[in-house]
Structure 1
Amino acid sequence: MPSPVTPRWDPAQYLRHAGHRARPFTDLLARVPDPPGGRPRVADLGCGPGNVTVLLADRWPAAHVTGYDNSPEMLDGAHVDHEGPTRGGGRLDFAHADLRTWTPPEPYDVIVSNATLQWVPGHAGRFADWIAALRPGGTLAFQVPGNFSAPSHRLMRDLAHSARWRGRLAGVLRHDDAVLTPAAYLERLTGLGCTADVWETTYLHLLKGEDPVLDWVKGTGLRPVLTALADDPGAREAFVAEYRDALREAYPAGPHGTPFPFRRVFAVATKEA
């Protein structure tokens, strides 16, 4: 049986819905307290093309902010578009990292992650190392999708496990256990000595254009399938067409666009000062 694949990312496709994707990050960042130091050290885990990492430099202009990612395609764009000195005398840079093994190389004041940890099996087991690297009063903050039971993901998994596709795709996609419940995150983070604020929100995005839900997932959740079938364009197109038809039925277009409910789980954990 195939196993989960490391997706190959397409920054341009990902950024097609950049506005909707950035909103959860801004909502998360609004709940992150300012660190005690005047020139904080900040990490963005899973920075992608860097378009939201710049918001960290805007929030703390004197900070040294590093965005970490394991995608060469994403990092290439981030280096070109965003790297360099910031207006407050700080710096924004980017580096390769695998979050399954990444351990902070120095003390940090803030570690954030936006819609990335769902790709890291057992990510809650990494919290202890990351929190240990925070300076007193520092914060670990993240948000993850909580929509793995939504039609967008359920239909994708059902199709991948169908008779036609299971030989090539069974086991490629993630399931509900890719993220924990809000209560489980709260328990993990408070158990590590942090004051934790955990919540969930369902956004109702109104998407425009033809097959906009398919266009959305082509930038994120569908990447493992597109990667697994990359060597067979005909099969890839056939899967996408079948999936597209199912999405059209599950997410009918309305007079002003296609409503796309999207649940997300947030956590802000602050280390004791």
Structure 2
Amino acid sequence: MARDGDRWNADQYLKFSGPRFRPGLDLLAQAPVADPASIVDLGCGTGDLTLAIQARFLKARITGMDNSPDMLAKARKHGADIDWVEADLMRWTPKTPADLVYSNAVLQWVPDHPTVLRHVAGMVSATGGLAIQMPRNFNAPSHVLARETAAGPRWKDRIGSALLRDPVADPDVYYRLLGDLGFSHIDIWETEYLHVLEGDDPVLEWVKGTALTPVFALIDGQERADFVAEYGAALRIAYPKQPDGRTLFPFRRIFLTARR
């Protein structure tokens, strides 16, 4: 789940493993291939969802690909019979096309989705399928406030353009792209999860593990602490604690499944 070097912190990412992994499990439940002999998990991260894939398809040969050494170190500790590969998504293809290519919360990090999907489609066998999930909440307060903070006078020259703005297209765009790539049985839907988070500043802790990674790649030490404090104050207003002490975090995602 990483790009541009290893800026990922597996422990930070796993702080909210339950709500983070739920969309991936929902995607797996809708896998478009009933009995794949080979599966690729693109951006496998810590490998927890790769294990769920293995549990669902016990006979399949599974490859988990990621370009974060920290994430893959966690994945390898599972001890599972899975081929873990460190690689850049746009520079890697499996040795042979896979019957199922699964990608959970990864492709939003890679620009130019027509090119991305063409590359990913080349990983799919002649009778295989795709299962993709991406966040589509880049206009939510969590992301808007990060961009606004980064555009402030102290930060704009350092990190003003580092954050993703809206890398994920509308559903109809993906329908046409997948059709042009020779896929049929295309199913696209969106879900908005209402994550109920525990603890202090939980939305800030969530985005530290994902959306803020481009910022953390550019600033460290006191600068990072100052940015986080400024942004965190805005988040507390946008996502106040409920009377029961929990924090509600709406999160919209798009799901794509298709097969040849």
TM range (shorter): over 0.9
Deviation, 1:129, is: 3.4
Q: Is 1:102 aligned to 2:92, yes or no?
A: yes
Q: Distance in 2 between matches of 1:22 and 1:234?
A: 32
- Whichever residue aligns with residue 215 of structure 1, its letter is E
Task: Tell me the secondary structure at the aligned position of residue 268 of structure 1.
Answer: strand
Deviation, 1:35, is: 4.3
Written as runs of structure 1 = structure 2, the 5 A alignment for 1:192-231 is: 192-195=181-184, 196-230=186-220
Aligned CA distance change for structure 1 residues 55 and 243 (closer, same or farther; 3 Å): same
Deviation per residue, 1:113-150 (Å, 9 max, x gap): 01011111124313223323322331111100000000
Q: Is 1:173 aligned to 2:163, yes or no?
A: yes
RMSD: 1.6
Partner of 2:9: 10
Q: Is 1:240 aligned to 2:228, yes or no?
A: yes
Task: Tell me the secondary structure at the aligned position of residue 228 of structure 1.
Answer: coil
- Whichever residue aligns with residue 28 of structure 1, its letter is L
Q: Which of residues 256, 259, 264 in structure 1 aligns to 2:248?
A: 259
Partner of 2:18: 19
- Whichever residue aligns with residue 199 of structure 1, its letter is W
Partner of 1:78: 75
CA contact (8 A) 2:101 2:123 kept: no
Q: Is 1:59 aligned to 2:56, yes or no?
A: yes
Deviation per residue, 1:3-51 (Å, 9 max, x gap): x9656011011001000011101111111133455xx110000111111
- Whichever residue aligns with residue 15 of structure 1, its letter is L
CA contact (8 A) 2:35 2:57 kept: no
Deviation per residue, 1:159-193 (Å, 9 max, x gap): 101111111112111111x1111111111001112
TM-score under structure 1 length normalisation = 0.89
Deviation, 1:151, is: 0.4
Q: Distance in 2 between matches of 1:99 and 1:118?
A: 12
Task: Tell me the secondary structure at the aligned position of residue 111 of structure 1.
Answer: strand
CA contact (8 A) 2:190 2:254 kept: yes
Q: Which of residues 146, 149, 153 in structure 1 aligns to 2:139?
A: 149
Task: Tell me the secondary structure at the aligned position of residue 154 of structure 1.
Answer: helix
Runs of 4+ in structure 1 off by over 4 angstroms are 4-7
Q: Distance in 1 between matches of 2:33 and 2:183?
A: 16
CA contact (8 A) 1:5 1:172 kept: no
Partner of 1:135: 125
Partner of 2:27: 28
Q: Distance in 2 between matches of 1:104 and 1:5?
A: 21
TM-score under structure 2 length normalisation = 0.94
Deviation per residue, 1:197-234 (Å, 9 max, x gap): 1111100011111000001001100111122112xx11
Aligned length: 256
Identical-residue share of aligned pairs (%): 46
- Whichever residue aligns with residue 186 of structure 1, its letter is Y
Deviation, 1:107, is: 1.7
- Whichever residue aligns with residue 183 of structure 2, its letter is C
Gaps of 5+ in 2: none
- Whichever residue aligns with residue 58 of structure 1, its letter is A
CA contact (8 A) 2:51 2:80 kept: no
Task: Tell me the secondary structure at the aligned position of residue 84 of structure 1.
Answer: coil
Q: Distance in 1 between matches of 2:90 and 2:35?
A: 28
Q: Which of residues 41, 47, 57 in structure 1 aligns to 2:44?
A: 47
- Whichever residue aligns with residue 22 of structure 1, its letter is F
Q: Which of residues 116, 122, 125 in structure 1 aligns to 2:106?
A: 116
CA contact (8 A) 1:43 1:110 kept: yes
Q: Distance in 1 between matches of 2:247 and 2:118?
A: 41
Q: Distance in 1 between matches of 2:200 and 2:259?
A: 43
Partner of 1:88: none
Aligned CA distance change for structure 1 residues 135 and 36 (closer, same or farther; 3 Å): farther
Partner of 1:162: 152
